[in-house]
């Protein structure tokens, strides 16, 4: 079987039609160059060149083989480049887990920025709740997760990529819908739609802690896991709700989001998490993008 070095030597001689010039082009002397051509012809069992002491010419077989030899060299060079780019994190594939709420604002920004930086990395997206993402990270089914900070796992590294305030969601006809800034005390006598203590534990604990710190006993009418479903119930008049600011991007008709007069304890966080033991070099490329986006993660 012939080798790539044989092809390179043949292509050089075929293009120069002169062993001396071909040898200089390849930084070789003529004897090893001639030997490479002989080995190629022996492997193919065909004569590729007619050579005399004065001239070199391609045989009919040589003419037909030349474009194929060039194609094989281009394929080999492309494969080598692809391997190098994958090893450096410039190409390859990366699987990203994300929560539904992260898709309202941050995920689209991340995808756009990452595609601009690494257009040759295939990004595979998987929507799942935070607990499922932790299991998938451990099992190697995803490379990076976008989760709520409800974890304490030493095997993971994390980066806070979003910090945003909670806002009050109210039907547009509700009296609080026109209030410039709502206080928690204003909600004490109103029906509220809140989060499931199981599927949305992070938001459930955050809201419950806020009301407890204000010594308010809220009147919950429903416990729902997803923000978009909560907004639908708010629109239907089931109750008010506290939602992350990114919910503005859902554009629910008939629902108004108002600022809340709350302290820093009301800030909602989103973290990117990954296993340091994961050898996928594309993670480092995504990490650079995440760091740039995290620079603007502070709430307005």
List residues bridging with 247 in a β-sheet.
Answer: none
CA distances from 300 to 95, 97, 113, 242 (A): 30, 26, 21, 17
Count how many Cα atoms sit within 13 Å of the Cα of residue 180 in the half-sphere of its side chain: 0
As a whole number of Å, the end-to-end CA separation of the chain is: 66
Name the strand (E) or helix (H) holding 267: strand 267-274
Pairwise CA distance, residues 271 & 210, whole Å = 21
Name the strand (E) or helix (H) holding 171: strand 157-171
pLDDT at residue 299, rounded to an integer: 47
Q: What is the pLDDT along the chain (300 residues), one digit of tens a residue?
A: 788 899 899 989 999 898 989 899 989 999 999 999 899 899 899 999 988 878 889 999 999 999 999 888 888 887 776 677 666 666 588 999 999 999 999 999 999 999 998 898 889 999 998 889 999 998 999 999 999 987 677 788 999 999 999 999 999 999 999 998 899 999 988 999 999 998 899 999 999 999 998 899 999 999 999 999 999 999 999 999 999 999 999 989 999 999 998 765 679 999 999 999 898 988 999 999 999 998 665 544
pLDDT at residue 79, rounded to an integer: 74
Residue of 278, 285, 273, 277 whose CA lies nearest to 88: 285
Q: Are the C-beta atoms of 185 and 286 separated by less than 8 Å?
A: no
Provide Rg for the chain, Cα atoms. 32
pLDDT at residue 53, rounded to an integer: 75
Token digits of residue 216: 């308010």
Where do the domains of the chain lie, and which CATH numbers do they carry?
4-87 (1.10.10.10), 91-161+269-294 (3.40.190.10), 164-268 (3.40.190.10)
């Amino acid at each position: 079987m012939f080798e790539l070095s044989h092809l390179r030597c043949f292509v050089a001689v075929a293009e120069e039609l002169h062993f001396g010039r071909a040898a200089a082009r390849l930084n070789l002397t003529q004897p090893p160059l001639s030997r490479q051509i002989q080995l190629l012809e022996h492997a193919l069992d065909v004569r590729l060149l007619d050579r005399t002491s004065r001239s070199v010419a391609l045989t009919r077989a040589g003419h037909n083989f030349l474009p194929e030899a060039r194609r094989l060299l281009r394929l080999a060079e492309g494969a080598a480049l692809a391997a190098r780019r994958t090893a450096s994190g410039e190409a390859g594939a990366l699987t990203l887990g994300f929560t539904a709420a992260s898709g309202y604002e941050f995920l689209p920004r991340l995808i756009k920025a990452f595609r601009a930086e690494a257009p040759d990395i295939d990004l595979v997206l998987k929507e799942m709740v935070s607990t499922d993402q932790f299991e998938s990270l451990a099992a190697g089914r995803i490379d990076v997760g976008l989760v709520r900070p409800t974890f304490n796992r030493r095997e993971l590294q994390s980066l806070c990529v979003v910090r945003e305030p909670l806002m009050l969601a109210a039907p547009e006809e509700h009296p609080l819908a026109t209030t410039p800034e709502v206080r928690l005390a204003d909600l004490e006598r109103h029906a509220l739609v809140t989060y499931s203590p199981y599927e949305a534990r992070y938001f459930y604990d955050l809201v419950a802690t806020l009301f407890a710190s204000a010594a308010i006993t809220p009147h919950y009418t429903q416990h729902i896991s997803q923000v978009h479903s909560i907004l639908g119930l708010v629109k239907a008049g089931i109750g008010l709700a506290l939602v992350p600011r990114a919910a503005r991007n859902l554009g629910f008709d008939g629902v108004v989001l108002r600022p809340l007069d709350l302290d820093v304890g009301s800030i909602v966080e989103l973290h990117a998490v990954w296993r340091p033991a994961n050898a996928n070099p594309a993670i480092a490329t995504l990490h650079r993008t995440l760091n740039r986006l995290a620079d603007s993660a502070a709430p307005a």
